Structure formats: structure tokens, C-alpha cells
A = this chain, B = another copy of it.
Amino acid sequence: MHDERTMPEDDGGGEPQADRTAVEDSLASHLERQLEHLVLSGELAPGERLNEIHLAARFGTSRGPLREALRMLHAKGFVTTVRNRGMYVRAIGREEALEIYDVRAAIFGLAGRILTDKVTDDLLEHLYLALGEMDTLAAARDFDAYYRANLGFHEFLLTSTGNSSLVAQYHSLVDKLHLCRARSLVQAGGLSVSNREHREMVESLASGDKFRAQEAFFRHVERAKMRFGSTAG
């Protein structure tokens, strides 16, 4: 019964246990990641009730570690708790989503501000290259590839700040926005529009004006907020 953890019974097409080859991590942490993925992917929808017994059975564990995992998600703000009634996937409303967009904008703006003092030729070259690629993808209407490139572009900017707290906070906020039922896949809407904003961001970095950069980065997120607000209004 213990060995089921490394080699769980596959009871006729079940899909628990993603890639648990290395048992370096505690079961609770593993479950947390699994659940977080299910929540963020929408497989567990916002507002949905989280039944401990069912989930424990689904992952082939007991309720103890599962509850610990749920507590972690609770602390992260992904689920809400009602005493003696259970936990529910957090459902973020329109107003709160707009609030989060603002905080995210501020943090992204900080990224721009920090980057201004860290700009190198290599960095700029990398960024201009990425802009070119994204233009190409946008022209080819390859939404999926553009989406990935866009993600990588932002990720590169964030990590280049060297501020890991900033990166973590930013990701946390982006994740929270996934808990909004009425979230719009905004990328499909403004494609080359978005890339024009990207270019303005890079150019403001190149200019060396940290206020301009901060504002460009800030507004990039604010415009995403407005696109969200108009579609989900």
C-alpha cells in the first residue's frame, strides 16, 4: 500500500500521478502542484466544490496530505474555505480582476524601471530579435506561436531584472487572474497592436529614461486590463 505511491494502480484509465519518478518531494507538495495545475487550467472550475474524499481517491492518497495541499492553495489564495462545509475553487470577480491588473501593472512597471539601469547591448539585441520574430508570427497569424513567443518575451524581461521577488509576485498575480471566469484570451484580439506596445517598451529601455520605461511597461499591462474590462464588462 505504500508502494502505490511510486507505482500507483491504474484503475482502468485513471489519470493521476503525472511524473512522479523522483520522490524527492513530499506528497503534499506534489499534490499542491497537481491541484494548482488543475485549477489554473480550468479543469477544476472557479466556484467548484473540492471534495476531499473524491480528490484523495483520484490521486490515490489519504486525506492528510491532500488537506495539506489544499491548505497551501488556500494560503496562496486559490481556494476559499468554509468551516465544516469544505473548500471551493476561488472565483475572482470582475472588480477584483481589475484590481489585480493594476498591481500587476505596477510590478511590471518596476521591471521596466529596473531594467533601464541594466540595459546592455546584448540585452537590446536579444529584445529586438524577439520583436522581429513576433512581428513575423503576427503577420503569419500564427496565434499559438505568437502566444508562446509573447510569454517568453515577458519572461525574459522579468528575469532580466535579477529581482526574483518581483518575478514571483508577478507570476502569482498572473495566476490569480486565471481564477476569473470571464477572462478573455486577450492575445487573440490585439496581435500586432500588442507588439507595437512591445516595441515602445524596448525603445524606452534603449532611451535610458527610467520614467518613460516604467510608464511604458505600466501602460502595457493597463491596456491589457482595458481590453479585459471591455470584453468582460
Contact = CB atoms under 8 A, between A and B. Distances in A.
Interface stretch (A9-17, A21-29, A37-45): A21-29
Interface in A163-209: 163-166, 169
B102 A166 contact: yes
A99 B166 contact: yes
A83 interface: yes
How many A residues touch the partner, as a band? 35 or more
Contact of A166 (B72, B103, B163): B103
Residue of A103, A107, A113, A211 with highest tally of chain B CB at under 10 A: A103
Copies in the assembly, this chain: 2
A28 B81 CA distance: 12
Given A96-B164, A99-B165, A102-B110, 10 more contacts: A24-B83, A32-B75, A64-B64, A67-B68, A72-B75, A100-B165, A102-B165, A103-B165, A103-B169, A105-B110
A138 interface: no
Contacts of A113: 106
A54 interface: no
Interface of A: 24-26, 28-29, 32, 64, 67-69, 71-76, 81, 83, 96, 99-100, 102-103, 105-107, 109-110, 113-114, 163-166, 169, 211, 215
B75 A102 contact: no
A99 B164 contact: yes
- Which 10 pairs between the two chains have the least Cβ-Cβ distance? A106-B110, A75-B75, A72-B75, A99-B165, A68-B71, A99-B163, A106-B106, A71-B71, A75-B76, A71-B72
Contacts of A166: 99, 102-103
Contacts of A105: 110
Nearest to A166: B103
Contacts of A107: 103, 106-107
A193 B137 CA distance: 53
A131 to B, nearest CB: 25
Nearest to A68: B71
